[in-house]
């Protein structure tokens, strides 16, 4: 369909799950693709090889999104390799769940740093090249948990709610520069992140979802293609829920 033909896209955390599905869809839609991974080195390298078979420019980088300096260096390297960045997808994220009563300072700090500070790091570094190009689309992965809260995930919910405030502020600051900033809020998507949850709880959740099933990473990726493409050129500052109606 070539919805992203000619666009350079950078995705953080594409070695697995939703990031990986987005990387595949973006390349199928004609994008040139830069992506990162951190601990899943083999999976990252295998993805690079797989996507190069489509014939376009693809490069994987091992980079920690939560590290300010590393993010700055990454953006510089991607611009050097690809010439520019049209779309940034802040996808890298983790969970370290526990009831607040038992949550450690380390669980709090790690989740806030990896999920929220990473979005600041990458966005701060990418706005210069986007301002120079006079266009850009920034897509941040939040969660329905960031809208509604979730018992046992105070750290994760706070990081994802923070992303929503950040997304809207960036939309207000940079709209006049033709840089759009939107968030995607997935509900329950079947990946390694949700694979840790016990089966009984998962079944109960599914019954509460109007579409009566969990979502697939590809279904989130379709929404990301839309926000990355010119089809969404008049949309900014929004949070699009991809949740089967879970939160209505």
Interface positions, 126-145, toward ligand NAP (CB under 6 A)? 141, 143
Interface positions, 31-70, toward ligand NAP (CB under 6 A)? 36-40, 44, 64-66
Catalytic residues: 156
Q: Considering only residues 75, 79, 189, 246, which one is a binding residue for ligand NAP as defined by CB under 6 A?
A: 189
Q: Considering only residues 121, 153, 167, 191, which one is a binding residue for ligand NAP as defined by CB under 6 A?
A: 191
Residue 142 beta carbon to ligand NAP: minimum distance, rounded to whole angstroms? 7
Work out whether 122 is an interface residue with ligand NAP (CB under 6 A): no
Which CB sits closer to ligand NAP, 2 or 46? Answer: 46
Strands 179-186 and 239-242: parallel
Q: Considering only residues 7, 8, 11, 16, which one is a binding residue for ligand NAP as defined by CB under 6 A?
A: 16
Work out whether 117 is an interface residue with ligand NAP (CB under 6 A): no
Work out whether 17 is an interface residue with ligand NAP (CB under 6 A): yes
Which CB sits closer to ligand NAP, 136 or 146? Answer: 146
Q: Considering only residues 7, 12, 166, 221, which one is a binding residue for ligand NAP as defined by CB under 6 A?
A: 12
DSSP string, the chain: --TTTT-EEEESS-SSHHHHHHHHHHHHTT-EEEEEESS-HHHHHHHHHHHHTTSS-EEEEE--TT-HHHHHHHHHHHHHHHS--SEEEE---------GGG--HHHHHHHIIIIIIHHHHHHHHHHHHHHHHT-EEEEEE--HHHHH--TT-HHHHHHHHHHHHHHHHHHHHHGGGTEEEEEEEE-SB-SHHHHTS-HHHHHHHHHHSTT-SPBPHHHHHHHHHHHHSGGGTT--S-EEEESTTS--
Work out whether 22 is an interface residue with ligand NAP (CB under 6 A): no
Number of residues that bind ligand NAP (CB under 6 A): 31
- Contact between 115 and 93 (Cβ < 8 Å): yes
Which CB sits closer to ligand NAP, 44 or 129? Answer: 44
* Residues of the shown chain interacting with ligand NAP in the complex, contacts defined by CB under 6 A: 12-19, 36-40, 44, 64-66, 91-94, 114, 141, 143, 186, 188-189, 191-194
């Amino acid at each position: 369909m070539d919805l992203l033909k000619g666009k350079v896209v950078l995705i953080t955390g594409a070695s697995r799950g939703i990031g990986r599905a987005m990387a595949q869809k973006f390349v199928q839609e004609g994008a040139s693709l830069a992506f990162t991974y951190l601990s899943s080195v083999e999976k990252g390298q295998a993805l690079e090889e797989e996507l190069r078979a489509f014939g376009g420019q693809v490069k994987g980088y091992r980079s920690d999104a939560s590290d300010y300096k590393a993010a700055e260096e990454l953006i510089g390297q991607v611009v050097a390799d690809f010439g520019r960045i049209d779309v940034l997808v802040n996808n890298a994220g983790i969970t370290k769940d526990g009831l607040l009563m038992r949550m450690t300072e380390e669980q709090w700090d790690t989740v806030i740093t990896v999920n929220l500070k990473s979005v600041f790091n990458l966005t701060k570094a990418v706005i210069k090249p986007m301002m120079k190009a006079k266009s850009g689309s920034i897509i941040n992965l939040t969660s329905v948990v960031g809208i509604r809260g979730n018992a046992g995930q105070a750290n994760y919910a706070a990081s994802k709610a923070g992303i929503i405030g950040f997304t809207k502020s960036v939309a207000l600051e940079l709209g006049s520069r033709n840089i759009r900033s939107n968030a995607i809020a997935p509900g329950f998507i079947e990946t390694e992140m949700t694979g840790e949850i016990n089966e009984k709880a998962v079944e109960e959740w599914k019954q509460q979802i109007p579409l009566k099933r969990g979502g697939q990473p590809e279904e989130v990726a379709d929404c990301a293609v839309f926000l990355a493409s010119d089809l969404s050129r008049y949309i900014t500052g929004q949070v699009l829920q991809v949740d089967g109606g879970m939160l209505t």
